[in-house]
């Protein structure tokens, strides 16, 4: 049985049975046969155009509702007549390729220049990135930003993308992780949905190309060659390229000399660990965003005790705020000390991703293989998304690492799962309670 048949029979039909009358189900739904899934759309087949038109018009709302409730990742449908099936699927695949060729990694709309806290450690990078956003291809090309993890490099790239979207909507901007670039190149070479022509059109027909974590080009010979050609093509046309890395070009092992010289031919910008004033400003901003009332003396205390990267610093603030809610105590210096002391992340037995996965599995009575696997059943999808959310909340890991730990899922899937649960708990008190219970169990381990 094909995957789309399993999704239709095990996940979507049960939802339809709940929301349509028995007569409508027997008259319409039973006459539909799934024939493919393209992107987020399931294609259903029937025998006559009149029947297809009737289902599309009169049953559309119910079918869309069932798709939403099935939690399969399928959000749309189409009904095709059997005799037109092959031609329709061919056209749908082609349009899907065009769409795929023009999309990149997800961009967080909250990561803007306005939400970026500027201090002495990053003011040069902020100014350079703002100049690039205001005049792409004219100021610094390429702009190569490097520094340790959790210092705001991704924030800067997304700030450029968000600025262009608002102030220069005609400028075609593409943001991708190096992992995304590599995976799509491999897919194009293996004759997947994205052809080599699609791949080149996607990456070379842009005005601004933003690539995150370019250090992952190391040791990938064929990827470096394709990237070199793409880079040359864009720069020759005065198209803007901005790159980030956790180290300067000369420290990226096994990077071709021709690429290294290209990277060093523009502006190199080093982002440093934030100084005390910047750390305090970051904590104040994050506390305001989370509507947490914290005295400046307490924020200063957290900042003074934690000379670390931004991601780790925010993680510690998150644990303090959570401890305040958990114990129903005001956020004081004593609470900060207690929260960070009791935190599993700071204890001798450091919290691991495995601990979170096992805890969620036990809570929802599902197996680890189901959590990490590809099954789309609702009883597995929701715990899987909760697992990703809790990992991103309680641990300071790059999203790509989270995806790798969660069964090899990509950057986009991690972001989708994290953001979906974050939004859902705002209105779903039952889910919010469950997640709080999971966190309590982990903190008491």
Residue 92, token pair as written in the block: 């749908």
Average the pLDDT over 12-33 and give the result. Answer: 89
Sequence-ordered list of residues with C-beta below 8 angstroms from that of 207, at least 6 positions apart, any chain: 136, 137, 171, 172, 173, 239, 240
The verdict on 250 and 179 lying in the same domain is yes
pLDDT reading at 112 higher than 70: yes
The verdict on 250 and 285 lying in the same domain is no
Q: Where does a domain end: 247, 270, 293?
A: 270
pLDDT given for residue 395 in this prediction: 79
pLDDT reading at 49 higher than 80: yes
Average the pLDDT over 258-277 and give the result. Answer: 86
Range with the poorest average pLDDT among 10-24, 83-97, 187-201, 220-234: 83-97
pLDDT given for residue 127 in this prediction: 93
**Whole-Å CA distances, 234 to 29, 106, 229:** 51, 22, 9
Flag whether 346 is in a domain.
no
Residue 221, token pair as written in the block: 């010979």
In terms of pLDDT, which residue wins out, 71 or 362? 362
Q: What is the 3-state secondary structure (H, E, C) of 90-103?
A: HHHHHHHHHHHHCC
CATH of the domain at 376: 1.10.1750.10
Total domains in the chain come to: 4
pLDDT given for residue 180 in this prediction: 79
pLDDT given for residue 350 in this prediction: 56
Flag whether 339 is in a domain.
no
The verdict on 72 and 154 lying in the same domain is no
Flag whether 115 is in a domain.
no
pLDDT given for residue 209 in this prediction: 93
pLDDT given for residue 396 in this prediction: 67
Flag whether 57 is in a domain.
yes
The verdict on 142 and 214 lying in the same domain is yes
Confidence of residue 136 (pLDDT cuts 50, 70, 90): very high
**Report field, pTM of the whole predicted structure over 0.75:** no
Q: Is 181 in contact with 211 (CB distance < 8 Å)?
A: yes
pLDDT given for residue 133 in this prediction: 94
CATH of the domain at 43: 3.30.300.180
Flag whether 430 is in a domain.
yes
The verdict on 303 and 257 lying in the same domain is no
pLDDT given for residue 176 in this prediction: 87
pLDDT given for residue 349 in this prediction: 43
Pick from 382, 395, 377: nearest CA to 421: 382
- Alpha-carbon gap, residue 24 to 87, rounded angstroms: 29
Average the pLDDT over 107-112 and give the result. Answer: 82
- Alpha-carbon gap, residue 305 to 287, rounded angstroms: 17
**Which tens digits make up the pLDDT trace of 86-108?**
777 666 554 444 444 445 667 77
Average the pLDDT over 141-164 and give the result. Answer: 89
pLDDT reading at 222 higher than 90: no
pLDDT reading at 389 higher than 60: yes
The verdict on 287 and 263 lying in the same domain is no
CATH of the domain at 166: 3.40.50.300
The verdict on 324 and 376 lying in the same domain is no
Q: Over pLDDT 70: what percentage of the chain?
A: 89
Helix (H) or strand (E) holding 16: helix 13-19
The verdict on 138 and 245 lying in the same domain is yes
Flag whether 107 is in a domain.
no
The helix/strand/coil state of 227 is: helix
Q: Which of 3-17, 229-243, 342-356, 420-434 has the highest mean pLDDT?
A: 229-243
The verdict on 304 and 178 lying in the same domain is no
Flag whether 342 is in a domain.
no
pLDDT reading at 445 higher than 60: no
Flag whether 338 is in a domain.
no
pLDDT given for residue 8 in this prediction: 87
The verdict on 263 and 245 lying in the same domain is yes
- Domain span at 89: 3-101
Average the pLDDT over 397-415 and give the result. Answer: 82
The verdict on 26 and 79 lying in the same domain is yes
Average the pLDDT over 31-52 and give the result. Answer: 84
pLDDT given for residue 275 in this prediction: 85
């Amino acid at each position: 049985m094909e995957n789309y048949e399993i999704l239709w029979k095990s996940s979507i039909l049960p939802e339809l049975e709940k929301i349509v009358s028995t007569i409508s189900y027997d008259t319409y739904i039973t006459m539909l046969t799934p024939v493919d899934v393209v992107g987020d759309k399931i294609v259903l087949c029937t025998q006559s155009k009149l029947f297809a038109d009737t289902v599309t018009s009169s049953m559309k709302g119910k079918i869309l509702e069932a798709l939403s409730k099935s939690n399969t990742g399928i959000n749309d449908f189409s009904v095709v007549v059997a005799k037109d099936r092959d031609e329709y699927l061919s056209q749908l695949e082609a349009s899907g390729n065009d769409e795929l060729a023009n999309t990149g990694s997800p961009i967080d709309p909250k990561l803007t220049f306005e939400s970026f806290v500027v201090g002495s450690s990053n003011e040069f990078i902020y100014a350079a990135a703002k100049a690039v956003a205001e005049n792409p291809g004219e100021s610094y090309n390429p702009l190569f930003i490097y520094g340790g993890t959790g210092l705001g490099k991704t924030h800067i790239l997304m700030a450029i993308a968000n600025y262009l979207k608002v102030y220069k909507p005609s400028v075609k901007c593409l943001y991708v992780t190096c992992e995304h670039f590599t995976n799509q190149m491999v897919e194009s070479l293996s004759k997947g949905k994205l052809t080599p022509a699609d791949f080149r059109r996607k990456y070379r027909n842009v005005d601004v190309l933003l690539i995150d974590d370019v250090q992952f080009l190391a040791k990938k010979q064929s990827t470096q060659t394709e990237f070199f050609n793409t880079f040359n093509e864009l720069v020759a046309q005065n198209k803007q390229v901005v790159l980030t890395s956790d180290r300067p070009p000369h420290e990226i092992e096994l990077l071709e000399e021709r690429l290294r010289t290209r990277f060093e031919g523009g502006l190199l910008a080093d982002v440093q660990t934030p100084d005390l004033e910047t750390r305090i400003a970051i904590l104040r901003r994050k506390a305001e965003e989370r509507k947490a009332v914290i005295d400046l003396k307490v924020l200063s205390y957290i900042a003074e005790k934690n000379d670390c990267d931004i991601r780790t610093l925010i993680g510690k603030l998150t644990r303090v705020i959570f401890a305040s809610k958990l114990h129903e105590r005001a956020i004081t210096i004593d609470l900060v000390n207690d929260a960070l002391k009791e935190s599993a992340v700071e204890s001798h037995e450091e919290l691991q991703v495995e601990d979170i996965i096992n805890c969620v599995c036990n809570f929802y009575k599902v197996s680890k293989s189901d959590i990490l696997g590809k099954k789309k059943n609702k009883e597995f999808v929701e715990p899987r998304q909760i697992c990703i959310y809790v990992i991103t909340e309680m641990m300071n890991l790059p999203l790509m690492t989270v995806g790798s730990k969660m069964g090899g899922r990509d950057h986009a899937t991690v972001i989708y799962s994290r953001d979906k649960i974050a939004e859902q708990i705002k209105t779903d008190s039952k889910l919010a309670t469950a997640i709080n219970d999971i966190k309590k169990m982990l903190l008491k381990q």
